[in-house]
Structure 1
C-alpha cells in the first residue's frame, strides 16, 4: 500500500522548472501583434517601472481590440490581436526573457503616454520578434 507517491507529489513542478502560463489559469489568450504574418512581425511588450518586461495576454478578444485602438490613437502602428496558446506564449517568453501579464476580461491596461524604445530589431519601440 505504500508504493504510491503522496497525492501532492504529482502536482509539484520538477525542481528548477519554469512555471508555464497555464499556472496563471489559461490555455490561450490574445496578444497584440504588429505586422501579423509578415517578415517583420512583432509582439507588443509592456514594461512597468521596477518590474520586468512582459507581453500582455488578454482573456477577451474585444478587450484586446480596444487596446489596439488605444495604441493606434497614441501613435503606434496598427496591432492585431492574435490568439496564442499558453505553450506558444511560454516558449516565446522563455526565449525572449519576458513575463506574461494577464489582462482580465473587462479591464483595460493604460497604454504608455509615448512609445518607449525596446530591444526589438531596428530599434522598434515596444516590439519583440517571435
Structure 2
C-alpha cells in the first residue's frame, strides 16, 4: 500500500522525515491521501516550519524504518476529520518546532578558528603573493 509522508531535503544526504514528538516517542504520520498530506504540509509552512515535500512511499518501508529507529507510525485515513479534542490535538501541527533539526546539527559549520597571524602579517603575506604574480 502506498502512503504519503512529509520529507525534508528528499533525495539528499540530509533527507529527513517529519515526525511529531509525543512525550519520549517520535511519531510519523502516513497519509492515505496526497491531498491530505499536502494540506498538512501547508499548515506546517503557515506556522513557520521548514517546507516539507510530500512523497509517496510504501507503507511497509515506513513501518520498517520506524521499527528499526524506535519511532511509531500512524495511518491517517483519507478525508479523516477529527471527532474529538484529542484527535484534533493529535493531528494538528505542533505549536513549536525543534530548535535545530538533526540535519542542521550534522551540517553545522564549526566556528572559524583564531588565525595564528595578525592582520598586519596577513597583509604582508598578501603583498608578497601579489608580487609573485
- Is this a same-fold pair by TM over 0.5? yes
Instruction: Give the equivalent residue in structure 1 for 2:97.
Output: 115
Distance 1:119 1:92 in 2: 18
Tell which has more relative contact order, 1 or 2 (C-alpha 8 A, sep 6+): 1
- Larger radius of gyration between Structure 1 and Structure 2: 2
Task: Kindly state the Cα deviation for residue 97 of structure 1 after the two structures are TM-superposed.
Answer: 0.7
| Partner SS for 1:53 | strand
**Could you tell me whether the CA contact under 8 Å between 1:117 and 1:123 is conserved in 2?**
no
Equivalences, count? 97
Distance 1:90 1:118 in 2: 25
Instruction: Give the equivalent residue in structure 2 for 1:46.
Output: 20
22, 29, 35: which one aligns with 2:9: 35
Ranges in structure 1 where 5+ consecutive residues have no aligned partner:
1-26, 125-130
| Partner SS for 1:32 | strand
Which has a greater percent of helix? 2
Q: Any runs of at least 4 consecutive aligned residues in structure 1 with deviations exceeding 2 A, and if so which?
A: 116-124
Over the residues paired in the alignment, what is the CA RMSD in angstroms?
A: 2.2
Task: Kindly state the Cα deviation for residue 36 of structure 1 after the two structures are TM-superposed.
Answer: 1.1
